[in-house]
């Protein structure tokens, strides 16, 4: 079982970031989204991200064009028949993911591996709806994918050791450090990270400190690269809320109740960097 080409569903923040990482590592990439406008937006973000790496002298102009040349786009699921791995990177919504994965299952080759980049939903559950659950696995990248060194590889109850081995080899080829995790809501990193972010919203809501002071506190007091509220804006407040809702529902424990302040910001459409406003305001490009 060797991965040579990768189909990615969703050209949003995670999807275009994963496409960049895969193409930079030499994989042929097929990026799929619902329409050309979504694909163009994703490719523009990807190109911008590569430019930032050139500026930081992590890559050169020629490597950028080689990376872009490996990426093809499509709006047709049938085109996924040619790839050896599909990574679903759509919105963190169980019904949407299930519907996408069902369409993928119908078109991929019988040897293909299917993966979800879900941040919180059970891989065992998603895999059980697939016709070959032994070839279904979680591949969880971190935001922004080109800069974050970790990949969580999540084993569903039915994922085969061969599938795991192929995905670990791919993660290493991408220059990432993989950790292997058993399927459970939020896996390892988000299980620990999101309750901390949610708590920061409670602290803010209770008027204990300003957003800036909360973030400075965690940056300088705990050596975190950015504070929890700035990180929530980077992840997307809707994603943070969706993840806390999954924990609350799955663990049936009120310690996971989402902060009302977070709920309120999401209701207002203040979703973080991607909408130009979250806890903080950003310049809309
Ligand atoms: N591609 C994409 N984004 C990039 C980038 C690139 N090549 N280079 C930088 N960024 C982005 C940031 O969003 C931010 O944006 P703006 O400049 O547009 O405001 C920018 O990083 C800051 O860039 P710098 O060059 O000043 O910063 P840096 O390169 O020194 O550090 C960082 C950037 C590594 C992201 C750092 O801020 C950091 O470590 N942040 C924490 C990230 C983190 O914890 N991520 C995990 C989130 S949890 C998750 O992803 C799991 C989940 O399922 C929710």
Residues carrying CATH 1.10.1040.10, the chain: 191-274
The strand pairing partners of 28, in sequence order, are 5
Q: Report the pLDDT value the prediction gives residue 168, as an integer from 0 to 100.
A: 98
Segment holding 87, helix H or strand E: strand 85-88
Q: Spell out which residues line ligand 1, taking CB within 6 angstroms.
A: 49, 52-53, 119, 142-144, 146-148, 190, 193, 225-226, 231, 234-235, 239
Joined tokens for residue 48: 């911008």
Average pLDDT on 207-215 reads 98
Mutate which of 181, 234, 240 to test ligand 1's pocket (most atoms within 8 Å of Cβ)? 234
When pLDDT is cut at 50, 70 and 90, the band that residue 284 belongs to is low
Residues carrying CATH 3.40.50.720, the chain: 5-182
Q: Report the pLDDT value the prediction gives residue 92, as an integer from 0 to 100.
A: 86
For 226-281, write each residue's pLDDT tens digit.
Answer: 999 999 999 999 999 999 999 999 999 999 999 999 999 999 999 999 899 999 99
For 115-159, write each residue's pLDDT tens digit.
Answer: 999 988 899 999 998 999 999 999 999 999 999 999 999 999 999
Q: Report the pLDDT value the prediction gives residue 1, as an integer from 0 to 100.
A: 76
CB 188 within 8 A of CB 160: no
CATH topology of domain 191-274: 1.10.1040
Q: Is 279 exposed, middle or buried (0-12, 13-18, 19+ CB in 10 A)?
A: buried
The residue among 271, 263, 275, 243 whose CA lies nearest residue 93 is: 243
CATH class of 5-182: alpha beta
Q: Report the pLDDT value the prediction gives residue 63, as an integer from 0 to 100.
A: 96
CB 5 within 8 A of CB 82: yes
Per the prediction, the chain carries an average pLDDT of 96
For 173-192, write each residue's pLDDT tens digit.
Answer: 999 999 999 999 999 999 99
Three-class SS state of 208: coil
CB 153 within 8 A of CB 183: no
Ligand 1 centroid to Cα of residue 224, in Å, is 12
Ligand 1 centroid to Cα of residue 225, in Å, is 9
Which percentage of the chain shows pLDDT scores above 90? 94
Contacts 24+ apart (CB under 8 A), 257-266: 258/198, 259/198, 259/199, 259/201, 259/202, 259/205, 260/205, 261/201, 261/202, 261/204, 261/205, 262/198, 262/201, 262/232, 262/237, 265/237, 266/237, 266/238, 266/241
Three-class SS state of 151: strand
Ligand 1 centroid to Cα of residue 236, in Å, is 13
Ligand 1 centroid to Cα of residue 143, in Å, is 7
For 49-66, write each residue's pLDDT tens digit.
Answer: 999 999 999 999 999 999
Joined tokens for residue 178: 């993989």
Atom 24 in ligand 1: residue holding the nearest Cα: 52
């Amino acid at each position: 079982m060797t991965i040579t080409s990768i189909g990615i569903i969703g050209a949003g923040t995670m999807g275009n970031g994963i496409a960049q990482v895969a193409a930079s590592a030499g994989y042929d990439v097929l990026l799929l989204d619902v329409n050309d406008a979504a694909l163009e937006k994703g490719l523009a973000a990807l190109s911008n991200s590569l430019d930032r790496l050139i500026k930081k002298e992590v890559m050169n102009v020629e490597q950028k064009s080689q990376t872009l040349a490996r990426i093809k786009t499509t709006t047709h699921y049938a085109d996924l028949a040619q790839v050896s791995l599909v990574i679903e990177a759509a919105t963190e919504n169980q019904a949407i993911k299930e519907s996408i994965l069902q369409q993928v299952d119908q078109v991929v080759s019988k040897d293909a591996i299917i993966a979800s980049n879900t941040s919180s939903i059970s891989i065992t559950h998603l895999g059980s709806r697939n016709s070959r659950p032994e070839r279904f696995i979680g591949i969880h990248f971190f935001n922004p994918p080109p800069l974050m060194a970790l990949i969580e590889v999540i084993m569903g109850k039915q994922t085969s050791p061969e599938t795991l081995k192929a995905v670990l080899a791919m993660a290493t080829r991408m220059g990432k450090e993989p950790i292997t995790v058993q399927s459970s809501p939020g896996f390892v990193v988000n299980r620990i990270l999101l309750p901390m972010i949610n708590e920061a919203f409670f602290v803010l809501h209770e008027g204990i400190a300003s957003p800036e002071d909360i973030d400075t506190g965690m940056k300088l007091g705990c050596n975190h690269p950015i504070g929890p509220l700035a990180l929530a804006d980077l992840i997307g407040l809707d994603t943070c809320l969706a993840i806390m809702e999954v924990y609350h529902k799955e663990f049936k424990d009120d310690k996971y109740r989402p902060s009302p302040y977070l709920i309120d910001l999401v209701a207002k459409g203040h979703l973080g960097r991607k909408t130009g406003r979250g806890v903080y305001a950003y310049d809309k490009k």
